[in-house]
A and B are shown apart, each in its own frame.
Chain A
Amino acid sequence: MSADYLIKKRSNTLKVLLGLGFLSLAAAFITEYDPVTGLISGLDALRWVATNFYPNEQSLTRLPSIINRLRETVLMSIAATTVAAFSATFFALLGAQTTKVNDALRLMSRSVASFLRNIPAVAWAMILLFTFGQSSLTGFLALFFSTFGFLTRVFMETFDETTASSIEALTATGASYMQIIFQAVLPASLPQMISWMLYMVETNIRDATLLGILTGTGIGFSFALFYKSMNYHAASLVVIVIVVTILVIEYISNHIRRVIL
């Protein structure tokens, strides 16, 4: 019996792996991706990076303008996260099972969040470019929509997980809806919510770089500018500046998490 079970499990795993292998081959055919060329050119690229992709003295003169652009991107990411968190709190309260007002509103807020979340930020940027052009608001709004959708989902999960039993207890004492929200749900969920906001800031800075390339704003624009003019020393400086920023933010976030959770 147990031997049968193991054999069956093995053959199932094998089937899945074979299927996946076949799909990958089909995918490689469709995209004309040659794994060998991929590997060789990947190694070539790394060698090229090691020999050409580093900042030199001349590129350091660009540092002030790069820092300026970086500030725009970081501020945009933080602003999008903050505004999205406020709106998401409201929607998540309506959407969470434990804090819902009624089922119709719950369904509505869940669908809105799901809709916004599943349209990628790139698509938002392409839509917003029509009206907001190359202003900072294009990037801000694109980040805002996707962050809002994501935070609504995780805030709903947080509300449901942290407060189910206490709400019942408070309802039994005759507390009003507002009292329950402000005295129990939000205080208990706040550490978790802040933790998610910190996570989104990191993600948004990376996404903002991509959006910047598309919409011509922020640090992404700096990179695209140097990249297209083949000024790779300056472009590498941009990469280093982004890496340092993200690692610093990750470090600060982890520190805050350790204290508040």
Chain B
Amino acid sequence: MQREQSLAPLWQPKVRPRLGQHRALNKPLDKGTLFMRLTMATFLALTVLAFASFDYQGINIYNAFLGTIDNFRVLMLSPQLTHFSLVEAAEGMLITLSLALLTTVIGAILALFFGLLAAQNLSSPLVSSLIKGGVAFIRAVPTILWVLIFAIAAGLGSVAAVTGMAFHSVGYLVKAYSEAFEEVDSGVIEALRATGASWWQIVCQAVLPTAQSYLLSWTFVRFEINFVGALAMGAAAGAGGLGFDLFLASAHYFDLREVGFITYLVLAVALVLETITTQIKVRLRVQT
């Protein structure tokens, strides 16, 4: 059960309420219920405020909606490449996937190292909280900003894109990895320590083999995210690949059919990646 939860996306709470324990059934208004209502009310109030303060730029919303539906029909029903050849589109996809792969591999190697140092059961409290604080900061900065910041020094291109995205991946994976390490049975580590095993021996013989499948699963989830990220970096930071083609097709050529074709291509790859992730998760669940 615990293992299953560690596979849920990051920041998912660890406790699941059961119906019988639901507080509202026992007491009419306790702190939990009050907080939930306050949160909901805040969400609603801010949403109303948002719609009131949106910058509509005088567009006719009704027409825009109808137009979007119309565009969507063209997009989905008659996809066609005009400015790119099929080979170029495939090449773009290959570049985007390569960017995602490189970022994930570099991020995973660094995160493995920092994740071990960030796990409370394998590291000192000071080092652990320092690293955890550091990666919380890294995660808070949107990926695109990291890429653009690195691009100032390295110039726009694959170097800036991979470095910037790897930065964010490290932030994400260190959190995921260290939590997987922290779930390793403390008895095992203690027993090994009592036999005089060194830190490296404990890590290589006990921690890594136990956490292996979770590390794999998290890394693949991150690959999925990095694929979308690589696409976005192509569009917004000129990192090349299919994202840049998409940006050109939409913002330069205004070619709906081409946007449609690229969207289909992205959708197909994303669906395959999602299926693989689900399969990995299902297999892990069966094992436990």
Contact = CB atoms under 8 A, between A and B. Distances in A.
Q: Are A and B genuine complex partners?
A: yes
Interface of A: 20, 23-24, 26-28, 30-35, 37-38, 41-42, 44-45, 48-49, 53, 71-72, 75-76, 78-79, 81-83, 85, 114-115, 117-123, 126-137, 140, 154, 161-163, 165-166, 184, 187-188, 190-192, 194-199, 202, 206-207, 209-210, 213-214, 217, 220, 223, 227, 232, 239, 242-243, 246-247, 250, 253, 256-257, 259-261
25 contacts: A26-B98, A27-B98, A28-B102, A38-B162, A45-B153, A79-B47, A79-B51, A83-B47, A118-B274, A123-B231, A123-B259, A127-B72, A131-B65, A132-B59, A135-B59, A137-B61, A166-B19, A188-B17, A214-B247, A223-B145, A247-B136, A247-B140, A256-B39, A259-B31, A260-B39
B26 to A, nearest CB: 12
A38 B153 contact: no
Given A20-B105, A41-B150, A192 B51 contact: no
Nearest to B262: A123
A65 to B, nearest CB: 14
Nearest to A228: B148
B28 interface: no
Contact of A32 (B16, B59, B148, B158): B158
B64 to A, nearest CB: 5
A261 B5 CA distance: 15
Given A45-B150, A242-B145, A130 B71 contact: yes
B55 A128 contact: no
Interface stretch (B114-122, B176-184, B192-200, B250-258): B250-258
A119 B35 contact: no
Nearest to A115: B267
Contacts of A188: 17-19, 22
Contacts, number: 254
B126 interface: no
Nearest to B58: A135
A48 B235 CA distance: 25
A154 B98 CA distance: 29
A162 B75 contact: no
Interface of B: 9, 11-13, 15-20, 22, 24, 31-32, 35-36, 39-40, 43-44, 46-47, 49-51, 53-57, 59, 61, 64-65, 67-68, 71-72, 75, 94-95, 97-99, 101-102, 105-106, 136-137, 140-145, 148-150, 152-154, 157-160, 162-163, 228, 231-232, 235-236, 240, 243, 246-247, 249-251, 254, 256, 259, 262-263, 266-267, 270-271, 274
Given A120-B232, A163-B19, A256-B35, A126 B159 contact: no
A217 B59 CA distance: 15
B163 A76 contact: no
Contact of B101 (A24, A133, A247): A24
Contacts of B20: 166
B59 A133 contact: yes
A137 B271 contact: no
A140 B54 contact: yes
Q: Which 6 pairs between the two chains have the least Cβ-Cβ distance? A: A27-B98, A45-B153, A75-B50, A79-B50, A126-B250, A41-B154
Contact of B102 (A27, A83, A214): A27
A199 to B, nearest CB: 5
Contacts of B9: 154, 199
A74 to B, nearest CB: 8
